[in-house]
């Protein structure tokens, strides 16, 4: 079982090394002595580590989604075929839907009602072992993957917004063939294009109308997706702020502990000197007593 823990941690460390970070490994500690004879570890602890591997896989999905959206933007910039642009927009919309679902799953695993944050706190209270190896591993893994998720989600949100703005601006330029003002073009994109109105304006340009309608509808869908992403990002920012406040409190407690420890050392030293002086006095009294008797 101990070998399984080492393998899980090494696998997670390889993922962390890709970004220059480091997850504390059990190999750096006398884990066999602390957790039992022959390094026996509970199946529950091994399953905890496997959960982080699942989170790692989902974070990679977000990172791939960001890269896909960025590639799609470059591809659309170099494409002048309306059919290609419509195909790209649909592909990105599908990618964003999958990424949003994945991001929600990660959030639930980390900070949900049954997430790792609450479970780690409960396990720490049950073990009542400050500084234990398992507690340290849990805290290191959680903090690392929370940070990794936040960064991946931030990049994914940024890529989605850039793509959305690009599609929005291109569709707006194409709609301008209707001789509309900027305000009217914006209203059409936000509310969806009124097909009857545009048909009246573009009589005889059926093919162009088809692409304008499709693109405007796709922009509307992407707008909705980006709004959902931004809302989730705001929630994550609040969670990170709350986590930072907790870390600050822990730091303050550690500082106070060091202060009290220093005072205790001084008190112990004074007690030792007092005890030595008392022994000297007792010895002097004993010698004096013997002299008087003799």
End-to-end, the C-alpha distance of the chain in Å comes to 74
Q: Are the C-beta atoms of 53 and 8 separated by less than 8 Å? A: yes
Residue ranges, the chain, pLDDT below 50: 1-3, 24-40, 193-206, 209
Q: Are the C-beta atoms of 142 and 167 separated by less than 8 Å? A: no
267 within domain boundaries: no
**Domain holding 194: CATH number?**
1.20.58.70
249-270 residue pLDDT tens: 667 667 666 666 777 678 777 7
Q: Are the C-beta atoms of 201 and 178 separated by less than 8 Å? A: yes
Predicted pLDDT at 86: 83
Predicted pLDDT at 31: 44
Q: CB neighbours of 48 closer than 8 A, spacing ≥ 6?
A: 116, 138
Predicted pLDDT at 28: 42
Predicted pLDDT at 151: 92
Predicted pLDDT at 65: 93
Predicted pLDDT at 33: 44
286 within domain boundaries: no
Q: Are the C-beta atoms of 62 and 153 separated by less than 8 Å? A: yes
292 within domain boundaries: no
Predicted pLDDT at 214: 59
The number of folded domains in the chain is 1
3 state DSSP class of 150 = helix
3 state DSSP class of 79 = coil
Predicted pLDDT at 39: 44
Q: Are the C-beta atoms of 135 and 170 separated by less than 8 Å? A: no
Supply 169's token pair: 């601006």
Q: Are the C-beta atoms of 164 and 219 separated by less than 8 Å? A: yes
- Taking the C-alpha atoms of residue 3 and residue 53, their distance in angstroms, rounded to an integer, is 16
55 within domain boundaries: yes
- Exposure pattern of 151-182 as b/e (b: 16+ CB <10 Å)? ebbebbbebbeebbeebbebbbebbeebebee
- Taking the C-alpha atoms of residue 211 and residue 198, their distance in angstroms, rounded to an integer, is 12
Predicted pLDDT at 267: 75
Predicted pLDDT at 83: 81
What is the domain range of residue 189?
2-262
Predicted pLDDT at 199: 44
């Amino acid at each position: 079982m101990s070998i399984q823990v080492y393998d899980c941690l090494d696998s997670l460390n390889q993922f962390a090394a890709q970004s220059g970070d480091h997850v504390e490994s059990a190999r750096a500690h006398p884990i066999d002595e602390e957790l039992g004879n022959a390094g026996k570890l509970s199946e529950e602890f091994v399953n905890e580590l496997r959960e982080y591997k699942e989170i790692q896989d989902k974070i990679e999905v977000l990172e791939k989604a960001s890269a896909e959206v960025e590639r799609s933007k470059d591809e659309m910039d170099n494409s002048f075929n309306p059919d290609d642009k419509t195909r790209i927009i649909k592909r990105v919309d599908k990618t964003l839907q999958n990424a949003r679902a994945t991001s929600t799953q990660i959030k639930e695993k980390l900070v949900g009602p049954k997430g790792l944050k609450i479970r780690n706190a409960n396990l720490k209270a049950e073990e009542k072992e400050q500084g234990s190896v398992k507690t340290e591993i849990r805290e290191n893994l959680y903090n690392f993957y929370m940070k990794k998720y936040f960064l991946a989600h931030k990049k994914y949100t940024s890529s989605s917004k850039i793509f959305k703005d690009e599609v929005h601006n291109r569709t707006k330029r194409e709609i301008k063939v209707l001789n509309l003002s900027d305000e009217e073009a914006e209203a059409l994109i936000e509310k969806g294009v009124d097909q009857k109105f545009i048909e009246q304006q573009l009589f005889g340009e059926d093919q162009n109308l088809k692409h304008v309608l499709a693109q405007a509808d796709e922009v509307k869908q992407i707008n909705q997706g980006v709004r959902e992403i931004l809302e989730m990002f705001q929630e994550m920012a609040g969670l990170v702020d709350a986590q930072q406040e907790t870390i600050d409190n822990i730091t303050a407690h550690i500082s106070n502990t060091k202060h009290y420890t220093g005072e205790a050392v001084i008190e112990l030293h004074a007690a030792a000197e007092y005890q030595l002086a008392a022994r000297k006095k007792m010895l002097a009294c004993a010698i004096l007593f013997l002299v008087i008797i003799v």
